[in-house]
Structure formats: structure tokens, C-alpha cells
Amino acid sequence: MIANTPPAPYYAVIFTSIRNEGDNGYAAMSDAMDELSKKQPGYLGIESARENLGITVSYWRSLDDIKNWKANVSHQFAQKTGREKWYQDFKVRICKVERDYSL
């Protein structure tokens, strides 16, 4: 689904990754983080796609909201586990969305 974001400006966190082989608990943690992120102040939505390269974009009201999500203890545990088990490589980019439009 395409996230239903408010009028710009808002922020996007783009997480690009290459996964290791096997699930190793990834799916369960991904579902848990999806549910937890929806409860965070400033959360606006998420979009995700995966083939060989995974791209997940989450949308946030402010940079402070993004910092608070990054500091969430459960999210920190997921990040640590990702570095140890799930990802060969990843990159995080944080961008300000200044304009958007749709069909």
C-alpha cells in the first residue's frame, strides 16, 4: 500500500538493505516493529518492497520523532539483532519531503 501522508513538509527515513539467508526470526520482529512504530508519536506511515534489495520508507512528522523512534528500547534491540543476524549490508537515509503529489 502507498502511505497516506499529510501535506508536506514531513520526513522520510529510507532503510535500504541486503538480507542474509534464512529468516532467523526476521519476519516476527518485522511484524512487531511495524505494530510498535504505528504507536509512536509522529508516525505517519510506511512503505516497503523486497526482492534482492529491500527498501522500506517510513514517514514521520519531525526529526525529533525520528530520534525518539531510533531510541526506543525495543527498536534498538531489533537494530542490534539486524546487524548480528539479518543483514549483509544496509544504509539509512533521512530526508525532508518538501513536496509530494499523486494520481
pLDDT at 22: 86
pLDDT in tens, 24-59: 889 999 999 999 999 999 999 999 998 889 999 999
In a domain, 63, yes or no: yes
In a domain, 2, yes or no: no
In a domain, 41, yes or no: yes
In 3D space, the residue among 89, 74, 101 whose CA is nearest the CA of residue 15 turns out to be: 89
Range of the domain at 43: 10-97
Q: What percent of the chain has pLDDT over 70?
A: 100
Domain total of the chain: 1
In a domain, 49, yes or no: yes
Average pLDDT over residues 79-85: 93
- Sequence-distant (6+) residues with CB within 8 A of 75 are 33, 36, 37, 69
pLDDT at 69: 97
Which CATH number covers residue 20?
A: 3.30.70.100
In a domain, 5, yes or no: no
- State the average pLDDT for the chain: 95
pTM over 0.95: no
Provide the Cα torsion 18, 61, 43, 57; round to 10°: -20
